[in-house]
Structure 1
């Protein structure tokens, strides 16, 4: 591991401290992190709303500006991956497993349990539930990923800098980014990435465990979840070991095919006409209300403000905490594309696929709830989708299919993360050593297992959201640095 940088050792030390505290004093860890998270949400909600809206405005600007013609690489470079494979990789690394986990559960919650502004169970709540879900998973999220990834890809492939967050800040801070300040920036990025992926490993294991219990009576508990994590770890490390052009590429393509097959099943076997009508109506409502939704902070309505803190602002912080990982992976697989092609693809393709997904699953779940076919609102989040399948044709087969898709997304996200962590801890190497990827794979799994065993995932989730605040300031500096470099590029 001769290529390992100081970032690796410093981050591992911080991880040991955080996980050790979480394991030895889980209640104290959760109480402290929950208090800080609540303070951040209530005090910086306005800031998160403005920041994410700024990212969307910048994305639109890059698509139509003269900078759009600049290629992410040399002028002679062309994309390494086909457009379909590229979109598959974006989709799988960015939020694939979340779509399965929340596809039916989030719209249903906004409709039946806790709507943003409408009365529960009403037609207004039905429309609003889809609009709000699109908002949380749509243009703003992918705009943020796209702008951060654009900065990384531009400096990495156009300017020949290492694939590190700190390298993107050199136009502002110069050589300082090669010293302790640069190390600090990269440690924050690696820390957020490691804990973000470890949290997903934990939640993914819980959902797979719930699905296997629902289908086959597989016992729910830490032992089962450790077995699931161990199996998944072997698979995602093997995929990461094989590199971008093999394991991750093939798995991403398979994920997209499996996801489209499951989506097709829901559209055909669910309330087809209602799904299409609701998508058309609610997507139009999303576009028509996007400005108002982007700036809504509800300062004079306590209930609405609490809802925003628990949902929208929570999501914005959560996605920002994932930006180092997802954006770096997007940048890595986007060499050779023009800025216009890159930003358009990142912004539009995953958003359209995601919104149609939520429309299909959300509409089906809400329709079943309204008609009394199944009381899905009483199901836990990880079981909602399986309870929905239970009242549909071929329920067992489609539930097994869904578990396989969750596992496949699970593996792809984790192997993408080990690849990115390997890059970030080997001075931005485009081909990090397999031993480094193996070390990170084992580290992620150990974090997830330890915190699952002490019910510490909620505290870990709080920690990631807290880490999003300082990284958001780094994002703003990345934007300034990118514009400075782009201006110099066109002279």
Structure 2
């Protein structure tokens, strides 16, 4: 039946994966609209249970992924090329980095570049003052009064007090922990596995392909299809959360620029515009669409970064970037294992931040992983790992240092100007624009920032559409355009329907869903490490595992004989 439907619609896909994934997504949207409270209550309870009982599993998992990647990169397996020993990269390093950046973390930089450091500056994670800060948010009057009362909160001995210099250092350390090597380890691990099994074994770009060393031909059976369907649903939900957050940020920027009302109708219109641009990019294809938008966006983002450096406290920021690198490197080991086991005021801070981030990020892992694998043929495992981990993290360090330290400096000089809207009022979507009000040419820079946000979310949407279609299309690397268009539109419909149904509350409910859905993805990631090593040992001859110089010497000896 599904095969007949596929032929009738002119599709070229795996009908079971395609139609089941689409149906489940549509059913979930319908249930969210009709039974919002019930769906929210179910997933909220499950989410709290996961955070309380399995948060440690998420923390240990991401740290394990990072350790594994560093080991495999510097081991003898690091010499293996993705595509064979004679394969070479299809894209230049600059173009490769641009696509990595836009697909994986560009949206996060724009949304959290100011919001996260300011949150941690006002509410230091290690101080145990989470409950007291929340109470102050409700009881304090003006933003200035809120900032003053934050400074008066007594912190435990040795802990950072709110809005202190120690809190500023801690804020940068935690922000980089969340968006540095650990985030990119979540993306890099599946990306490496996808690339290996696609280019060395000729398997399709599907999550199930990773498990061939365990399942064999059963990856094409029911078990493999269930894995792929779960990956599609996780990707759709992860992208929907990001589209929702981006919509709120764009709406906030347009409100500040033109007084456009913040509300459902405006947000749905924004989603429609972003989805339309993403669809056009999908139709143009990888090289003309995503690549062009990615390169444009990286240029605009760098321009915005340079503006903040030059128009702000330049010397302070340049010194701060270097100091932030040291802060991050000194904090990464203890934070990698910190589990908030002894919260000072009941339920700990980490469940609402780190555990949620890791769960949300890992739902993006199939999407970003397959996309990165798709553009990385010909690179060695060592080059792949160090490139995918190194370049985006280096840029993220500079970005969060500049924006985070600038925001902290502004708050020091103008108490309440940022902690008021971002922390007291909880409006993280407006953080970037409240920040830019303190710079010259405010309206122009805010307009540019809105444009950059739109393009970042567009590239994420069209990249996700391409990847989801690859997940559902079996062995077809370039399926019909109409299929990619379908997924681009469905991503927009999911986000728009949720906003139309219940507004921001629906997005909060979806975040709970993502936290729960992240759990099986962690199990898959653990198995991925085992499958990858087993496959390399089975496939790659000893000679190819030798360093390049040793291979050249060996080849010369053979020729002389």
| Length-normalised TM-score, structure 2 | 0.85
- SS of equivalent residue, structure 1 residue 116: helix
Please say if 1:466 is aligned against 2:516.
yes
After superposition, the Cα gap between the structure-2 partners of 1:80 and 1:468, relative to the gap in structure 1 and judged at 3 Å, is: same
1:2 to 11, 23, 30: 11
Give 1:435's aligned residue. 482
The equivalent residue for 2:267 is: 225
Which structure 2 residues correspond to residues 68-467 of structure 1 after superposition, within 5 A? Answer: 68-117=78-127, 118-303=160-345, 306-372=348-414, 375-379=417-421, 380-453=427-500, 454-455=502-503, 456-467=506-517
Distance 1:390 1:250 in 2: 30
Secondary structure of the 1:149 match is helix
Q: State the shift of 1:277 in Å.
A: 2.2
| C-alpha separation in 1, matches of 2:410 and 2:492 | 37
The structural deviation recorded for 1:374 is 6.1
- By how many angstroms is 1:276 displaced? 2.2
Tell me how far 1:236 sits from its aligned partner: 0.6
Deviation string, structure 1 residues 104-137 (Cα, Å, up to 9, x no partner)? 1100110014543321111110000000000000
Q: Distance in 1 between matches of 2:496 and 2:11?
A: 29
Deviation of 1:343 (Å) = 0.4
CA distance in 1, matches of 2:413, 2:63: 37
The alpha carbon displacement at 1:373 in A equals 6.6
Give the distance between the partners of 2:172 and 2:397, measured in 1 at CA: 8
Asked whether the equivalents of residues 279 and 485 of structure 2 are also in contact (C-alpha less than 8 Å), the reply is yes
Cα RMSD after superposing both structures: 1.4
Contact preservation (8 Å) 2:11, 2:480: no
- The residue number in structure 1 matching 2:137 is none
The answer on 1:39 being equivalent to 2:49 is yes
Alignment partners' CA distance in 1, 2:303 and 2:11? 44
How far did residue 372 of structure 1 move?
Answer: 1.2
Give 3-state SS (helix, strand or coil) of 2:348's partner: helix
Between 1:224-233 and 1:345-354, the stretch displaced more is 224-233
Runs of 4+ in 1 over 6 A off after TM superposition: none
Give the distance between the partners of 1:63 and 1:331, measured in 2 at CA: 16
Q: Which moved more, 1:70-79 or 1:439-448?
A: 70-79
Give, in whole Å, the separation in 1 of the partners of 2:125 and 2:59: 19
2:184–2:389 Cα contact (<8 Å) kept: yes
Q: Does 2:62 align with 1:15?
A: no
CA–CA distance in 2 between the matches of 1:473 and 1:428? 25
Decide whether the 8 Å contact of 2:324 with 2:397 is kept in 1. Answer: no
CA drift at 1:82:
0.9
Does structure 1 conserve the Cα–Cα contact (< 8 Å) formed by 2:206 and 2:474? yes
| 2:36 corresponds to 1:26 | yes
Query: Where does residue 540 of structure 2 map in the other structure?
Result: 490
Say whether the 8 Å CA contact 1:373–1:391 is kept in structure 2: no
CA distance in 1, matches of 2:497, 2:186: 32
- Whether contact under 8 Å (2:172, 2:327) holds in the other structure is no
Contact 2:101 2:392 in 1 (8 A): yes
Cα pair 2:32 2:39 within 8 Å, conserved = yes
Q: What do the CA deviations read for 1:377-436 (whole angstroms, capped 9, x no partner)?
A: 122211111111112111111101100100110111001011001101111532132010
How far apart are the structure 2 equivalents of 1:174 and 1:326?
25
8 Å CA contact 1:297, 1:305 repeated in 2: no
> Any idea what the Cα deviations from partners look like across 1:193-213, whole Å, max 9, x if unmatched?
111112222221121111111
2: distance between equivalents of 1:341 and 1:382? 36
**For 1:373 and 1:270, how far apart are their aligned partners in 2?**
17
Question: 1:489: how far off?
Answer: 2.5
Change in CA separation of 1:87 and 1:304 when aligned onto 2, cut-off 3 Å: farther
Q: Which runs of 5+ in 1 are unaligned?
A: none
Deviates more, 1:178-187 or 1:92-101: 92-101
